[in-house]
Structure 1
Amino acid sequence: MKQAIEMKPVQRTGREISVATAPEKTGSVLDALRSRIAPQERFAPAPRPSFSLGSEALDAALPGHGLTTGVLHEILPAGHGDFAAGLGFGICLLARLLCQRPGSLLWVSPAHLSSREGALYPLGLAALGLDPNRLIQIQARKPIDVLWALEEGLSHASLAAVAGLLPDNARAYDFAASRRLGLRAARHGVTALVMRGRQACAENTAAETRWSVGTLPGRARFSGQAGPGAPHWRLQLLKCRQGLSRRLSQHWDVEWDHETLSFRLPAPLADRTPGHTPWRRGIDHAWAEAS
């Protein structure tokens, strides 16, 4: 028994022709195409959850209204002498991530940097809000060993994040290496953070975001109080995939609130002088005698 075929008229160049369409055959062709495309769909980027930074201005500049997890992020110092500022900003960023996700933090750094800028102080980490008990620290001899440790750490979904320090001359970190880290992070949902030198600003990598961090003087908590205040940085978003390009040239002066574990924009009137002069009895008495 032959299969019924539907005849549809199609107008073409003034002549009427007949086109035979078989619904069953059309469905089988679509199923065959879906089966061929399915193996390639696993490489398509899946949407990842994000977490808020605590500041509306910073969240608005990011595509997911927050920093995306399960991807690769980079932090660069804004200038000479800003490496410590970038390191502090990265630690605060990880502290906020750890308060929203269970798991440990894998920290990988070269041995020669660990004895200088990259040394971690447990009491200082706790003061910034990062629990030292959730930290796993590894010291590597070469930058390629740092990349290997980061890639292996990203294979463990029980980790919340991995962070690595790379010197300026880390030639092993290129687009291919960053691509491997990004794919491994997306596969297991672990966030990767790489802190590099300023010379890497113009290099092309597969990082989701790239932040430039500059040092700003800390401000006292109260008027007239001596001593350092909250950590204070100037941030610039150098790169953001699927983000708003008009935000890339904007700067934000932010502070870190260790009590709420969030970033905030400093109050615009925080450094204003008081509107009245405090009354001092000695000065008023001298003016009274002179008059």
Structure 2
Amino acid sequence: MIVVAGEALIDLVPHGAGAPLPALLPRPGGGPYNTALALGRLGADVAFCSRVSDDGFGEALLGGLRAAGVDVSPVQRGPEPTTLAVAAIGADGSAGYGFYAEGTADRLFTLPAALPAGARALALGTCSLVLEPGASAYEALLLREAGRGLFTLLDPNIRPGLIPDADAYRARFAGWLPHVTLLKLSEDDAGWLGGVPGGPDGPEAVVLTRAGAGLSVRTASGREVSVPAAPVTVADTIGAGDTVNAALLHALAARDALSPGALRSLGPDAWHDVLSFAARAAAVTCSRTGAEPPYAAELPPL
């Protein structure tokens, strides 16, 4: 089982061109939520670990996960409201966000006693590792499960507007890296963080997404593999990076590579296939408005 931990929120996506104040359509979102949803749609054995509001938005978020086959038994519930993220879509389909997160349910996540039985991998990232007090609980979960030998994926998915002290966050991020098996960064993330990390004490592999230029991986042993982006007419990029996370994990699971040390033995052809699968999956998401990742039947078999 793959466990995805982190926030579930509601994206408010602009709808209707030309209006001074466009209508905002509520869509399920949050990087970890989208990753779990995408894994479920791909047919993976996946669970979601978070804290979700008891409000109507929270019920809709959990309903979407259940419909995709995601185990939501690790989800904590609370009476606080659901976090809202207001999306602004650029001319190229790229998305920026403003967040309404003060006093929301997902910020009060507490460290669970254990993950579901059979957990092989843990994926974390985005707002959940920034907003306290929940961020410290998610950090503790990462350190505990990495220490138990779980494969870990980290996607920081940097949102600068949520980070009050950039230097403190960068130092904290560096402290996570020895506990991360696979790091996924966008070019924007890498630029904000000051470069793509590497070295013997860091992740076994770093996947870099480069928007329309495709994806690349650099392993701790120095191997580098790149693939082009899949052709697509972009509606928007909401959820594309989260779909990449899910597709990477799903493709690696198909190769029995979700264990510490396994990435070191993957050859160039295997990495090419894994990255190409992730690129195709992300292209499907980009072709749709909002975070709507593909189902397994929409992609070539692994």
TM bin (shorter chain): 0.3 to 0.5
- TM-score of the superposed pair, with normalisation by structure 2: 0.34
Which structure carries more helix by proportion? 2
